[in-house]
Amino acid sequence: MKVNIYYGGRGVIDDPSLYVLNRMTAVFKELNVKTEQFNLFEKKGEIPSLTATLKDADGVILATTIEWFGLGGNLQQLLDAFWLYGDKDKIKTLYMLPVVMSTTHGERQGMMDLMNAWELLGGLPADGLCGYIPETAKLEHDKGLIGLIEKRAENLYRTINQKIPAMPSSNQAVRQKVSIMKSSDLTPQETEQLSRYVSDDKYVETQKKDIKDLTEKFRTKMDASIITAPSEDIMERLSKKFHASPDIHAKYMIEITEPPGKQPIVLEVNAVDCKCSLGAVTDADMTVTLTADILEEITAGRTTFQGAFMKGDLKAKGDFKVLRGMDVVFP
């Protein structure tokens, strides 16, 4: 069995939460329970990545000391990370014991906040521990309080070991109905980096300029390759797609508008074969006008001449029965 401890306090010497955690850790050691403590004040830049540490845990302790108001930023950031990146299926199996000591006020509210947050994440709450401890010495010399701390650690061990069920809560019902997370392909580290960069106006402007320059560069290369690509390549693809039909005898002329500079393609279709040539003619039965991109869609089999015409991507002049014949001989 393993219990992960996430401590969100400042790490000062007389922090009462640290004393509580040390006593609990000693109990776990006697019970042969492995513990690993993560001090969030030492890992401020790594908090989002701590979600991965849940995978080998059987239980969790979330601990902090309230010194003026609320749980504090580090622990809240960890809860945010669990919500955004945590494995919800794993969290569903984890019991969480909250430890909230206070040197001022609000310890009970802090404990309830942690329990509510864990339930919204889908996890299982265990009996928590909270108290007003203005001086750590009060804990060190009070055998009754020490016994209570040790009892809570033993109870967590029993709860995990026996998989004691928890009563359904309204927080879990709310999560199932309204808490829908958007999926992301980014890792926590990538998301954190992206957030920092997006907030940097100078960085964003530089990136926009670089993207614009790259776009222009590649567009120029692509346009150049398309313009210089011989029409013979298109003719060859059309010839390979040709299927003779005894009912279709026609001469087609294909005019390519974009990119400019391409010669028209003439296709003379009969019952046996298809003769392809370059150059404009005046006796075509059907003249179609389209872009190189649309012709690529047609030759790749992703659309048809008739389909392109119906969508307005292709203009036709001539006998429309002949247009329908193009999809027969070039399926």
pLDDT digits (tens, 9 = 90+) for 230-264: 466 777 888 888 888 888 889 999 998 888 777 88
Residue 17 lies in a domain: yes
262 shares its domain with 214: no
pLDDT band of 326, cuts 50, 70, 90: confident
73 shares its domain with 35: yes
316 shares its domain with 219: no
Classify 185 as helix, strand or coil: coil
- Full domain range(s) for residue 218: 188-227
| Preceding amide of 246 cis, omega within 30 | no
CA distance 122 to 78: 15
16 shares its domain with 148: yes
CA distance 68 to 154: 30
Q: How many domains does the chain have?
A: 3
Residue 183 lies in a domain: no
Residue 127 lies in a domain: yes
Residues 208-236: tens digit of each pLDDT: 888 888 877 776 665 554 444 446 677 78
CA distance 126 to 149: 14
Residue 324 lies in a domain: yes
* Residue 50 vs residue 178, higher pLDDT: 50
Residue 316 lies in a domain: yes
Residue 192 lies in a domain: yes
Predicted model pTM: 0.56
CA distance 260 to 295: 14
97 shares its domain with 13: yes
Residue 89 lies in a domain: yes
Bridge partners of 99, per DSSP, are 63, 129
Classify 316 as helix, strand or coil: strand
84 shares its domain with 156: yes
**Beta strands at 274-278 and 265-269: parallel, antiparallel or unpaired:** antiparallel
18 shares its domain with 97: yes
Residue 153 lies in a domain: yes
